[in-house]
Structure 1
């Protein structure tokens, strides 16, 4: 296993190990569940906290032919030559606001999602001055009620996009949508959204749209609803080995392995008497003479304050619990009289192989979802990349087809 050069000199206060071999294996496992669809590796929010560019490279090595991002800045970073992502891997971006870097994205060959007429107008204005037609994907609001074009407005958007396509300003490359409740088995909105998606794509195609891809399947839909796979699937959290919903199954149930392990070195171990208050507000008071261990991570690093008094940590082979308030930079665990040496490893979460907690355990302790636990780990925590492999550049043909790795 190898680490990034910068990580070797990083302080040992804390580290988030990112196992890229696990990520590649997860991509291969997920691809097997949708063998007839192209694979988009979603790396928004800095790869759900794991590092967008290293994870994108690993996903491509394992067969991803699309990369998905939220913001245009994320897309342009992936598309930059220094990212090492081959030019024939498609990059898509879907969260735009007025005045965005439309022309830069067009010239970088990014697939740009459009949900309304204002966005199409800004895009076409920018594309007229660009060196190439824009690649545009029209997003349908099939029931999520977030981004996407409402069914009543869909004919206008489709007609305007086709007019721009005939003028040579853009190419409509995709039709897509997003589920609201795919992580809730049997929810009636799933079937309703799927029906609406079929209706809206059929309308666009009847008007003359010839999309390269139609897609609606996120992680939970990809794992449990094969009828949603269409031409492309968009796994996000599942690619990082985290189950999208405990109701659907654990990571192990789906053959996935968590990619991130978050750990720190104990900053202090000390004996205290019974009745000793611990951390702000003294919400924890030692029941008797004991030892306390100081974990140098806090909510400033992304450890959720809502897990105060409940967040689990593996220290010296035993589960401990955050004693009292989690502060900005540190929290305390009651070691029950044990005396590991300062510098001993405290594992907040990982795959669970060594008996350590998982991100799902922290999600339950904080009353949230595991997506938030991994994504919120901040930039003060160095990422250490394990099992990196060089990305093989291919001169022609699609990137990352089966057998590449």
Structure 2
């Protein structure tokens, strides 16, 4: 990934996603304070939920994150290639995956089944590694989410195979972990049920001689609301980026968090049109009278939900506007009503922290019937990420990738 130092507005941009790394570091410190006796894993899967994995992993480590987590092997290996040398875990593996490369890169590999352990141990034997250094693995138990993870009935077999691989010097079990299904719904009966299965699985493994460094099940919502689930490590994803994992329970401000990304575009057209003028494909919006239309040059190819047609909020000229008509691939329109002060090149803020009265990612989630996780993660690579809050080659106000 190339990073070219650049002042935040040195060159004109069609649109930008401003990523505040100082806010991210503050969020990490806030989350660590929520779980003071646990280590923290900064989850940077999916390009750090759209924010930029390399930059966010670096900032999180600066704020004290002991671990970084990714979903796919390619994500983990890209971080290693970019110079990340700390503890790094990866959990979404498929047959034929780059096990050997992960072993050689000192990635903690999640294992959910005997088949995975078999592929891993074969890779360990072929890997270029110092003599006597085993691969690090973390065993996942499915405590009730029903996705990845070993079923409890199969857990004894997985533990037996893992212990045999340990005795052979091929692997070291560094962790036992799981994932909640409903931690964003405090009081949901599945939470205590999953905790019970998890504790039993850990106890069984330890009776068989497994000595994990870390036991972990807490995601962002559990980190914020469920102290008994913190164990040795908490995994914070969406909360690290200042988005509430459970809006019904609390806003980012309620949890002491600040949204990290601000998405803006710059008006490409401002024009007067008569009443009865159709707007965008299908003419689902027709101007009710003479008005001013502004063209915002981002669309669903940039990650703006097409479901935001007629509903998505945008701040233009200090006022909330709503997408007029359909969101197209590269652009959408807002009706400015009687406001004639907007000019081509003015900023349109789609979402941000809300400090300037702009919509938030949660506002877009409500408008489009989804969750804020999706809103920030789907912003495509057509939108440059501009980073502030970090010193890069002497620049302190921003750089882009």
Assess same fold via TM > 0.5.
yes
Task: Give the Cα separation in 2 of the matches to 1:8 and 1:178.
Answer: 41
Task: Give the Cα separation in 2 of the matches to 1:53 and 1:388.
Answer: 13
Structure 1 equivalent of residue 296 of structure 2: 295
User: What are the Cα deviations for residues 199-234 of structure 1, in whole angstroms up to 9, with x where unaligned?
Assistant: 001100110000000000000000000000000000
Structure 2 equivalent of residue 72 of structure 1: 73
The alpha-carbon deviation at position 307 of structure 1 amounts to 1.1
Correspondence 1:372 to 2:377:
no
Moved more, 184-193 or 232-241: 184-193
121 and 6 in structure 1: CA distance in 2 versus 1, 3 angstrom threshold: farther
8 Å Cα contact 1:57-1:84 kept in structure 2 = no
8 Å Cα contact 1:183-1:245 kept in structure 2 = yes
Superposition pairs of residues 217-296 of structure 1, within 5 angstroms? 217-296=218-297
Task: Give the Cα separation in 1 of the matches to 2:162 and 2:310.
Answer: 54
Q: TM-score, normalised by structure 2?
A: 0.94
2:114 aligned to 109, 117, 137, which one?
117
8 Å Cα contact 1:27-1:59 kept in structure 2 = yes
Structure 1 equivalent of residue 346 of structure 2: 344
8 Å Cα contact 1:71-1:93 kept in structure 2 = yes
Task: Give the Cα separation in 2 of the matches to 1:138 and 1:6.
Answer: 45
Superposition pairs of residues 136-147 of structure 1, within 5 angstroms? 136-147=137-148
The alpha-carbon deviation at position 337 of structure 1 amounts to 2.1
The gaps in structure 2 that reach 5 residues or longer are: 394-401
Q: Paired residues, what number?
A: 385
Correspondence 1:105 to 2:105:
no
3-state SS, counterpart of residue 17 of structure 1: strand
The gaps in structure 1 that reach 5 residues or longer are: 392-405
Structure 2 equivalent of residue 39 of structure 1: 40
**Poorly superposed stretches of 4+, deviation over 2 Å:** 3-11
8 Å Cα contact 2:181-2:190 kept in structure 1 = yes
The alpha-carbon deviation at position 84 of structure 1 amounts to 3.6
Task: Give the Cα separation in 2 of the matches to 1:154 and 1:9.
Answer: 56
User: What are the Cα deviations for residues 296-336 of structure 1, in whole angstroms up to 9, with x where unaligned?
Assistant: 00000000001110000000000000000000000000000
6 and 119 in structure 1: CA distance in 2 versus 1, 3 angstrom threshold: farther
Q: TM-score, normalised by structure 1?
A: 0.93
Task: Give the Cα separation in 1 of the matches to 2:9 and 2:356.
Answer: 23
User: What are the Cα deviations for residues 237-286 of structure 1, in whole angstroms up to 9, with x where unaligned?
Assistant: 00000000111200000000000000000000000111111101111111
Structure 1 equivalent of residue 160 of structure 2: 159
The alpha-carbon deviation at position 180 of structure 1 amounts to 0.4
3-state SS, counterpart of residue 60 of structure 1: helix
The alpha-carbon deviation at position 78 of structure 1 amounts to 1.2
Structure 2 equivalent of residue 310 of structure 1: 311
The alpha-carbon deviation at position 6 of structure 1 amounts to 8.6
Structure 1 equivalent of residue 359 of structure 2: 357
3-state SS, counterpart of residue 148 of structure 1: coil
3-state SS, counterpart of residue 236 of structure 2: coil
Structure 1 equivalent of residue 58 of structure 2: 57
Structure 1 equivalent of residue 27 of structure 2: 26
8 Å Cα contact 2:5-2:392 kept in structure 1 = no
Task: Give the Cα separation in 2 of the matches to 1:25 and 1:4.
Answer: 23
Task: Give the Cα separation in 1 of the matches to 2:89 and 2:149.
Answer: 15
User: What are the Cα deviations for residues 109-150 of structure 1, in whole angstroms up to 9, with x where unaligned?
Assistant: 000000011101000110112214110000000000000000
The alpha-carbon deviation at position 4 of structure 1 amounts to 3.6
Task: Give the Cα separation in 1 of the matches to 2:392 and 2:103.
Answer: 28
8 Å Cα contact 1:301-1:378 kept in structure 2 = yes
User: What are the Cα deviations for residues 69-93 of structure 1, in whole angstroms up to 9, with x where unaligned?
Assistant: 000010111122xx243x2x20000
8 Å Cα contact 1:185-1:247 kept in structure 2 = no
